[in-house]
Amino acid sequence: MIYPNYPTTRLRRLRENPRLRDMLSETKLSVSDLILPLFVKESISQKQPIHSMPGHFQLTLTDLAKEAEEIHHLGIPGVILFGIPAHKDASGSAAYQTDNVISRAIEEIKRVTPDLLIIVDLCCCEYTDHGHCGILAKQQGRWTVDNDKTLKLLAKQAIQHAHAGADIIAPSGMIDGMISILRCALDEAGYTHVPLLSYAAKYASSFYGPFRQAAESIPQMGDRRGYQMNPANGAEALREVTLDLQEGADILMVKPAGVYLDVIYRIKQRYPEVPLAAYQVSGEFAMIKAAAEQGWINESAVMLESLTAIKRAGAQFILTYFAKDAACCLSEVLARG
Ligand code: PBG
């Protein structure tokens, strides 16, 4: 010591001992915080690898049952389902037909693992031939998604998903008024018990690239900036979530997660009492995987750090393609104690 009587607060005293460090960890990531996204495709007889998302596949209904069992076994509480129908059309009619790919997927999962929580993504883009999240209409010479016509279709879809047994419905289309229309439609049809997880602050992000290949939902023309949020806006996310809460959203979500931690934090500060989720999207996953494959980063360390940061910012649970890898890592950590 240069000045022997000078009292120094030594924060390092709390960092040296691994047990103490662990005990004092403010954010604890657990397998029960994780939801795994799954893609189910109708017209295939064998699962197809998604090249930009190593370890992920477009699944058949048969694979889905195996997958569900594995997920359940790992202690992951639930999945979010995306369906890819055999036929797409301008209004995405496959989404609300009885016996559609999602209804059959729900039935299959419930048969093998009735306890697994099933969230269904509610959107038109996987079902429309043009790849947009609703019905297209021309407005002043420009194609746009017709808000109110799309709402009617979403209501039909939601009822079909609830009828099939979805535990939670997650509308992701960023169509204005979708939460109130869906709440009314579900309540009227007798599904008052089905919660709505709103993709409340969903950005027009370039991080969705691999997903759009996986879900075969690349917009055939234009982009989604006419309905998804501008990445430059943070305060607007508060308007979005306030409206969704007024309309009856049960859970809010921010998407993507890693580069929108400020948005997660702001929403948590404004509405600490409302459950908040975040979606670590396909591009976030793919970047970590690709860098790890090159040997440039340590995959599991970066994965756990990124998930912990999302939770630290204020997300209560995380939708992530890393759910299975993280579950394995977390149980190894527990076993090592
Ligand atoms: C559907 C939807 C998308 C994602 C989730 N739901 C794609 C999009 O908005 O284009 C993206 C998820 C990901 O990138 O992992 N609207």
Confidence bin at 161 (pLDDT 50/70/90)? very high
208, 220, 259: residue to mutate for ligand 1 pocket, most atoms within 8 A of CB: 208
Alpha-carbon gap, residue 229 to 260, rounded angstroms: 12
Alpha-carbon gap, residue 286 to 52, rounded angstroms: 6
Residue 22 has a CB neighbour count (10 Å cut-off) of: 11
Residues 6 or more apart whose CB falls under 8 angstroms from that of 165 comprise 106, 107, 110, 118
Full DSSP string of 53-91: STT-EEEPHHHHHHHHHHHHHTT--EEEEEEE-S--BTT
Q: Find the helix or strand (DSSP H, E) in which 325 lies.
A: helix 323-336
Active site residue 311: no
Active site residue 202: yes
- What are the tens digits of pLDDT across the range 197-247? 999 999 999 999 999 888 888 888 788 888 899 999 999 999 999 999 999
Full DSSP string of 218-275: --SSS-STTTSBPTT-SHHHHHHHHHHHHHT-SEEEEES-GGGHHHHHHHHHH-TTS-
| Structure token digits, residue 279 | 């979606």
Per-residue confidence (pLDDT) for residue 94, from 0 to 100: 87
Report the predicted TM-score, pTM, of the whole model to 2 decimal places.
0.95
* Minimum CA distance residue for ligand 1 atom 5: 172
- What are the tens digits of pLDDT across the range 317-329? 999 999 999 999 9
| Structure token digits, residue 323 | 């759910």
Alpha-carbon gap, residue 230 to 236, rounded angstroms: 9
User: Ligand 1: which residues within 6 Å by Cβ?
Assistant: 121, 123, 125, 133, 172-173, 208, 211-212, 224, 281-282
Q: Give the chain's mean pLDDT.
A: 94
Per-residue confidence (pLDDT) for residue 337, from 0 to 100: 59
Could you tell me the distance, in angstroms and rounded to a whole number, from the CA of residue 212 to the centre of ligand 1?
7
Check: CB of residue 124 under 8 Å from CB of residue 134. Answer: yes
> 41, 255, 289, 324: which is the annotated catalytic residue?
255
Could you tell me the distance, in angstroms and rounded to a whole number, from the CA of residue 193 to the centre of ligand 1?
26
Could you tell me the distance, in angstroms and rounded to a whole number, from the CA of residue 85 to the centre of ligand 1?
16
Check: CB of residue 257 under 8 Å from CB of residue 315. Answer: yes
- What are the tens digits of pLDDT across the range 24-83? 999 999 999 999 999 999 989 999 999 999 999 999 999 999 999 999 999 999 999 999
